[in-house]
Structure 1
């Protein structure tokens, strides 16, 4: 069976130390499950922290870079994918992920959340404030708000099992 690919999205240069610590812990937990961590690939903020957490727990990491150069990837990225697409690479981030986890970020993260929802991907918000614009998706069950990295893992297991059960019917 193919390994689950968990897309971890969130703030870059402006990410707070607290958000980066959550991203690091989440990356480690994803790796411990044997899942693949996918992110934007750069060596800053949530991208760097989540990839470092995964690598330090023997995980596999994929970075979808907006640039044309692999040397701009975080040293914690195993598989750098260069796109030369700038922000357009966000659609690759989302479509290549089986599930998307969003930590606090700015417009890039919000665009990834929106692209995921538009494409019917499950989205988990990790300590990311839920606004009224997303309530519709929460009611539909494709966006879930949690507050701790451990809750992300439990929710992924729950959602992924539900998705597999539906395919079996």
Structure 2
């Protein structure tokens, strides 16, 4: 039996994240860490990534991983969220595939732009459970039309219950 910790990927808008999405992400990060799961984000110090990392970092024993687009040179190395482990890929937005495939479950928090949409699509293509947390109706309709297994949550506690249920199915 593996001792590998469960990895939950939290994806969402960066600079364009709403205040509501950032509040949810911070609460979600804390909830993930409190359950002993690893938080994985895109690692940048912006939006949902930064908020989820900040929330997770408040919990003793947390592990926060960021998969970053840059090579880790110069300012890149300093421009990260509250991370325990920064993975510099040098892949730009192509690193979204790594974000998703490294996660056991993927949560999209509050929607986002094309980058977040690509992460949701990669989750479906990669066979990762996808949970949409407080996303716009169009997001819900679109991603649920692609895969009937996509789940929706309106709040963090519901989201964490859905994650637990998906992990038990695996």
Contact 1:100 1:116 in 2 (8 A): yes
**CA shift at 1:131, angstroms?**
4.3
Matched, 1:63 2:66: yes
- Pick aligned residue for 1:151 from 135, 145, 158: 158
**CA shift at 1:144, angstroms?**
0.4
**CA shift at 1:162, angstroms?**
1.4
Q: Is there any run of 5+ residues in structure 1 with no aligned partner, and where?
A: 164-169
What residue number does 1:117 align with? 124
Whole-Å separation in 1 of the counterparts to 2:80 and 2:143: 31
Contact 1:41 1:63 in 2 (8 A): yes
Whole-Å separation in 2 of the counterparts to 1:131 and 1:53: 25
What residue number does 1:81 align with? 87
Contact 2:140 2:152 in 1 (8 A): no
- Cα distance per residue 1:107-144 (max 9 Å; x no partner): 110000001101111000001133443234442x2x10
**CA shift at 1:82, angstroms?**
0.2
What residue number does 1:91 align with? 97
- Pick aligned residue for 1:134 from 117, 133, 143: 143
Whole-Å separation in 2 of the counterparts to 1:86 and 1:78: 21
How many residues align? The count is 160
Whole-Å separation in 1 of the counterparts to 2:86 and 2:51: 16
Shifted more, 26-35 versus 129-138: the winner is 129-138
Calculate the aligned-residue CA RMSD, in Å. Answer: 1.1
TM-score (structure 2 length as normaliser): 0.90
Matched, 1:160 2:167: yes
- Pick aligned residue for 1:30 from 32, 38, 49: 32
Q: Is there any run of 5+ residues in structure 2 with no aligned partner, and where?
A: none
Partner SS, residue 46 of structure 1: helix
What residue number does 1:10 align with? 12
What residue number does 1:167 align with? none
